[in-house]
Amino acid sequence: MKVKLASSYGFCFGVKRAIKIAEAYENSATMGPLIHNQDEINRLKNDFNVGLYQNLKEVKDDDTVIIRTHGIPKNDLKDLKAQKAKVINATCPFVTTPQQIVKKMSKEGYSILIFGDSSHPEVKGVKSYGEDQDDVHVIMEIDEIKNLNFKNSKIATVAQTTKKKEKYLEIVNHLILRNKEVRVFNTICDATFENQDAARDLSKEVDVMVVIGGKNSSNTKQLHSICKENCEDSYLIENHNEIENSWFEGKKLCGVTAGASTPDWIIQEVVNKIEKIN
Amino acid sequence: MKVKLASSYGFCFGVKRAIKIAEAYENSATMGPLIHNQDEINRLKNDFNVGLYQNLKEVKDDDTVIIRTHGIPKNDLKDLKAQKAKVINATCPFVTTPQQIVKKMSKEGYSILIFGDSSHPEVKGVKSYGEDQDDVHVIMEIDEIKNLNFKNSKIATVAQTTKKKEKYLEIVNHLILRNKEVRVFNTICDATFENQDAARDLSKEVDVMVVIGGKNSSNTKQLHSICKENCEDSYLIENHNEIENSWFEGKKLCGVTAGASTPDWIIQEVVNKIEKIN
């Protein structure tokens, strides 16, 4: 069976980079899970002895600690550096950017608005860089904006990297109509949408489509649903064991894509198995 | 006849201020007409000997020259100041703001976008404050934006004070989706909309409505059309000579509003005449 991979699939740039960093530091430990995929965490543990800490207290002197793509709050990073542990910062550059923007803008006297989920580690980290924590506001929905009390008439805004642009614009427009100056930083990352666009394109040109990812992963389910719109024979699997030969009977070309938490080696196993089917 | 004035009508803040300034400088001259109303220009000439220059070459030593609300290009102001003439700056503070923003932002390395009419004196003046004139862009419509070549990925935007906010947001949203940083200054003035809102409210509570302003003035015609929506007996007049007694027969309360170029004394003459009608 001939297989064609989507032009963009699986891990985003930041996660790929963090995994390469982890592989380069054997016997280290990540601060929090590097990725929402237990198979990959196990692989890093087995092949590179990369451990996992859940909080700062577990860190011991002379440890090598890897900060994951989401980043961590400013003071946690300071505490870590104050210890004797060696700190390897694998924070995604697309997350470092809003952290530095919040730091700079808040120093320059801007009130800060972050569009994102206040309980998400990325947002917690970005927020922590504000000088005046009472003037760094986080909202998920436009409705929450009327409850905010900005201390300044100059507002700077950033967005969590995985948020939708349309909702960010809605919030930004509200601010522009009510404030003298709004400094808008578009910190939204296109990775999620790139996988979706690529899946849409590929599913239009193949006979059968295989989507690899967690059955409970919302981004994988969305990929599957996009593929089904264009290719009725689209299947969602977690790994190669679920492949059924009957799917490929009378088909000529199989498209493959994967959710954002699916490691390359799981994808490769799937591709290898499908390619062997006659 | 009882008369009620709209809560906002006639001249905006900037024009009222400029006229007060002109009245305070007898024997001066304005650079360009202070207002689009010949009666008012005549009054300033007759009562205060305030003349009118159409261009810089007419200025003589020891003249007192009044810069009108729209402002003038930076170099014209410089040339004026280099002469022996005394310069009185009646530029509306709401126009000085975008001038200063363009100056500062362009010094800080931002590309500049002005939403407005490139042939309007206000916009010409604001544009002139950009450091690099090739990187100060002016558009009236969103369609023009794709033809622009910004030199930087950081954009600062201002709007002509009389523009519509909805159209400004459309342009700003386009920029946000395509640039790392967009610094949005809301320089749109509410004056026009305040007159419209007040006319709408007043026309709902009166029997008859009189709108004073030029028959060719687009803002006066818009006021008239808003009033007619709520009060069928709405009349558009240029001055008190056009008032007809029959309009007020059987009516109890007459609302009065005026376009943005209508001087207070013309309004007062109308009010006085209507109040005398039984």
- Measured between CA atoms, the residue of chain B closest to residue A172 is B173
pLDDT at A192 over 90: no
**CA A240 from centre of chain:** 24
The full set of domain ranges for chain B reads: 2-8+191-276, 13-92, 94-184
In terms of CA atoms, which chain B residue is nearest residue A176?
B186
Whether B172 and A176 lie within 8 Å, measured CB to CB: yes
Per-residue pLDDT, averaged over A80-89, amounts to: 90
pLDDT for A61 beyond 90: no
pLDDT tens by residue, A113-150:
999 999 999 999 999 999 999 999 999 999 999 999 99
Strand partners, B210: B235, B256
pLDDT single digits (tens) B121-154: 999 999 999 999 999 999 999 999 999 999 999 9
* pLDDT, mean of residues A188-192: 85
CATH class of the A94-184 domain in this structure: alpha beta
- Average confidence (pLDDT) over B161-174: 93
- Residue A155: HSE in the Cβ half-sphere, 13 Å Cα cutoff: 28
User: Out of A168, A184, A186, whose CB is closest to B184?
Assistant: A184
Residue whose C-alpha is closest to residue B195's, from B215, B179, B212: B212
pLDDT beyond 90 at B185 = yes
**B2-8+191-276 and B13-92 agree in CATH topology:** no
* Interface confidence (ipTM) of the complex: 0.78
Inter-chain residue contact A184 with B176, CB threshold 8 Å: yes
Q: Is the pLDDT of residue A5 over 80?
A: yes
User: Mean pLDDT score of chain A, rounded to an integer?
Assistant: 94
- Residue A160's pLDDT is 94
pLDDT score of A62: 87
Nearest by CB to residue A182, choosing from B173, B179, B184, is B184
A-B contacts at Cβ under 8 angstroms? 48
Positions of B annotated as catalytic residues are 122
The structure tokens listed for A177 are 């109509």
The reported pLDDT for the residue numbered A215 is: 86
Are B184 and A186 within 8 A, CB to CB?
Answer: no
Residue B192 clears pLDDT 80, i.e. is over it: no
CA distance A207 to B88: 77
CA distance A238 to chain B (A): 34
Kindly determine whether residue A184 and residue B173, on different chains, have CB atoms separated by under 8 Å: no
Q: Is the pLDDT of residue B235 over 90?
A: yes
Q: Kindly determine whether residue A177 and residue B169, on different chains, have CB atoms separated by under 8 Å.
A: yes
| B13-92 placed in CATH 3.40.50.11270 | yes
Q: Sort out which chain B residues have CB atoms less than 8 A from A165's CB and list them.
A: 177
> Residue A219 annotated as binding?
yes
Query: Which residues of chain B are within 8 Å of residue A185 when distances are taken between CB atoms?
Result: 180-181
DSSP-derived letter for residue B202 is H
CATH 3.40.1010.20 fits A2-8+191-276, yes or no: yes
* Per-residue pLDDT tens digits for A197-254: 999 999 999 999 999 998 888 889 989 999 999 999 999 999 999 999 999 999 999 9
- Which among A180, A185, A186 has CB closest to B177? A186
Mean per-residue pLDDT for B171-192?
93
d(CA A155, CA B183): 10
Give the CATH number of domain A13-91: 3.40.50.11270
pLDDT, tens digit, 9 for 90 and up, residues B77-129: 999 888 888 999 999 999 999 999 999 999 999 999 999 999 999 999 999 99
What's residue B84's pLDDT?
A: 85
The verdict on a CB contact (< 8 Å) between A186 and B181 is yes
